[in-house]
Amino acid sequence: MGLFEKLKQGLSKTRKNLVEKAESLFRGRVVNEKLLNELEEVLIMADVGPKASGSIISALKDKFKKGEIPDTIWLKNAMKEEIKKSIQDGTRIKITAEMPYVILAVGVNGTGKTTTIGKLARRFTGDGLKVILAAGDTFRAAAIEQLEIWAQRADAQIVKHKSGADPAAVAYDAIASAKARSADVVIIDTAGRLHTKTNLMEELKKIKRVISREMASAPHEVLLVVDAISGQNVIHQAKMFNDAVGVTGIALTKLDGTAKGGIVVAIKKELNIPVKLIGIGEGIEDLRDFDAEEFVDALFG
């Protein structure tokens, strides 16, 4: 199966929830204000979110008034174009800064953060880069072990302390080690215990401060890992982490297991933080750079 076909398959639940519901709404109907208002409800229910849905429908109403949407076939195409426009600014992770390039990975437990780090590390080592992983989730021995397994799979090195150690010290040592070994990339795992939210955010701020002390330009990327299954709760998580550490990109996992893929559109409108990576399966190749055009084509395909 080709990569595009895999993406189409991964978005099948979202397609049913958004595109097929819209098509069902259009059947036998003429385009008018009432239909467009009903379409707005379909978008909101598909987790596109009230703000983005309102913006898309407003643009469609303008086109309708100008006579640019004569029937529902034109309406479907216009809807596709407006969705594409609303998420167009995705930027990929590019290793461009002074070495080592430091990625701070944050997110709540259970979103697939450690797995995403492992797959990203494998991609970088596959490109011939030297990668160090920092086991900064020191509160869970299982998280350290999981990262060790991924380090072996990805042919990356790992810096770890014993369980319960200071996460900021692990991050500091990883960057110092990367400089000493001339590594290209450091990816720092962090804890995600949301039930102690205030403590967690303070801890992440401390890690970021310590990283910046060891390397003024770092972290070069603060990557928030969220799972699409959470739907609108993704927005809440992103706001919280962004307020604490300034998120520069989002990795949206588990898109293949949810009908809530419309959250991609909501993220851009609500937060203006680019989705940089999407996860559509278990394989290493299933962590993909986010491409708005490809995403919408696969969704409507």
Residue 196: predicted pLDDT: 57
* Cα separation, 23 vs 29, whole angstroms: 10
Residue 197: predicted pLDDT: 60
Backbone angles phi, psi at 226, to 5 degrees: -130, 155
Backbone angles phi, psi at 256, to 5 degrees: -75, -15
State in Å, rounded, how far the first CA of the chain is from the last one.
15
Residue 285: predicted pLDDT: 84
Q: What is the DSSP string of 205-217?
A: HHHHHHHHHHSTT
Residue 231: predicted pLDDT: 86
Residue 255 burial (CB < 10 Å; 0-12/13-18/19+)? buried
Residue 3: predicted pLDDT: 79
pLDDT in tens, the chain (301 residues): 677 898 899 999 999 999 999 999 999 999 999 999 999 999 999 999 999 999 999 999 999 999 999 999 999 999 999 999 998 765 789 888 789 999 999 999 889 999 999 999 999 999 999 999 999 999 888 999 999 999 999 999 999 999 889 999 999 999 999 999 999 999 999 998 855 566 889 999 999 999 999 999 999 999 999 999 998 899 999 999 999 999 999 999 999 988 899 999 999 889 989 999 999 988 888 899 999 999 999 999 8
Q: What is the DSSP string of 221-252?
A: EEEEEEEGGGTTHHHHHHHHHHHHH---EEEE
The 10s digit of each residue's pLDDT in 234-264 is 999 999 999 999 999 999 999 998 889 999 9
Residue 282: predicted pLDDT: 86
Helix (H) or strand (E) holding 137: none
* Cα separation, 173 vs 207, whole angstroms: 12
Those residues whose C-beta lies under 8 Å from the C-beta of residue 249, and which sit 6 or more positions away, are 91, 93, 221, 222, 223, 224, 273, 274, 275, 276, 277
Tell me the HSE value of 73 on the side-chain side, using a 13 A CA sphere.
0
Give the CATH H-level superfamily of domain 3-86: SRP54, nucleotide-binding domain (1.20.120.140)
Q: Which residue is it, tokens 């319960």? A: 164
Residue 114: predicted pLDDT: 93
3-86 and 101-300 agree in CATH topology:
no
Q: Is 149 helix (H, G, I), strand (E, B) or coil?
A: helix
Residue 118: predicted pLDDT: 96
User: Which class is 101-300 in CATH?
Assistant: alpha beta
The 10s digit of each residue's pLDDT in 110-145 is 899 999 999 999 999 999 999 999 999 998 889 999
Q: Is 159 helix (H, G, I), strand (E, B) or coil?
A: strand
* Cα separation, 194 vs 216, whole angstroms: 29
Domain ranges within the chain, ordered by starting residue: 3-86, 101-300
pTM over 0.85: yes
Q: How far is CA 25 from CA 29, 128, 204, in A?
A: 8, 50, 46
